[in-house]
Structure 1
Amino acid sequence: MRKFFNSLAIFLLLIGFSGCFGEDEKVKAPKKDHIFVKNDGVEDFKVDVQNRVKEKVLVPFRETIKIEFLATKTKTVLVKTKSQDPNWNNCSIAMQVGQTLVVHRKYENIECKAE
């Protein structure tokens, strides 16, 4: 009888520990939002997505890039462009997540628009 209780206790312990070594829980990656930035014929410039991206992103001449950042409830972002040429102006615009920021020349200035 004693042997039976010992084997029952060991069996219950093994069942209890088997739950500890099951599959690991899948960790969900944080959701990301993005914007596109299109350099439509302006010198190289840097883009600052305020409160979303830590560093300014360089956008080369005639390139389109995608900037990703962590998603929040707010779907509007403030984007500032800063020209590499000190003679050119800078541009700021509020735009929606997923839109494309197009930066182009207008006379002697740069102009921004969200599409």
Structure 2
Amino acid sequence: MNRAAVFPVIALAAVLAACGEEEPQGPPMSEIYVRNESSTEANVRVKFWTKDYVKVSAGEKGTVRFVNAEGANAVQVEAKSRKQWDDCWVTMNVGQTLVVFNATERIGCRAE
């Protein structure tokens, strides 16, 4: 076999060997959606699961993604206002939308 014929055979063997391998799967991820109807920026996180907050400006929407290794259907979500650092939290289903709104002298939360 000449050199010109050897290279395509080696390349084909490498491609076929790689086809049999699967990429390792990461941990299962879930998400909740956020709609901020308040007059202030809100920092949102899934309580007990994540330390980092997702910032959602007034009038904006956002998504919180988190590792859900246990496959939980419901999570507790906390929102803190940027203005007064008051907070609210709600228990909601994975995939639902958290609505942050202006309540009496503080922010309020509800799940939709």
Q: Normalising TM by the smaller chain, what interval?
A: 0.7 to 0.9
1:85, distance to aligned residue in structure 2 (A): 1.5
User: Are residues 1:82 and 2:80 paired?
Assistant: yes
Which consecutive unaligned segments of at least 5 residues does structure 2 have? 1-12
Of 21, 44, 56, the residue aligned with 1:25 is 21
1:54-65 correspondence runs (5 A): 54-65=51-62
Identity over aligned pairs, percent:
33
Count residues with an aligned counterpart: 95
Question: What is the DSSP-based 3-state SS (H/G/I as helix, E as strand, rest coil) of the residue aligned with 2:30?
Answer: strand
Give CA-to-partner distance per residue, 1:68-115, whole Å, 9 cap, x none.
1122321211111111112x6310111110000001112322111000
CA distance in 1, matches of 2:26, 2:78: 28
Question: What is the DSSP-based 3-state SS (H/G/I as helix, E as strand, rest coil) of the residue aligned with 1:22?
Answer: helix
Which consecutive unaligned segments of at least 5 residues does structure 1 have? 1-17
| Structure 1 contact 42–103 (Cα < 8 Å) conserved | no
CA distance in 1, matches of 2:48, 2:59: 26
Question: What is the DSSP-based 3-state SS (H/G/I as helix, E as strand, rest coil) of the residue aligned with 2:108?
Answer: strand
TM-score, normalization by structure 2: 0.73
Give CA-to-partner distance per residue, 1:40-83, whole Å, 9 cap, x none.
13301211212332311111111110111122321211111111
- RMSD, aligned α-carbons: 2.1
CA distance in 2, matches of 1:106, 1:54: 25
| Structure 2 contact 86–107 (Cα < 8 Å) conserved | yes
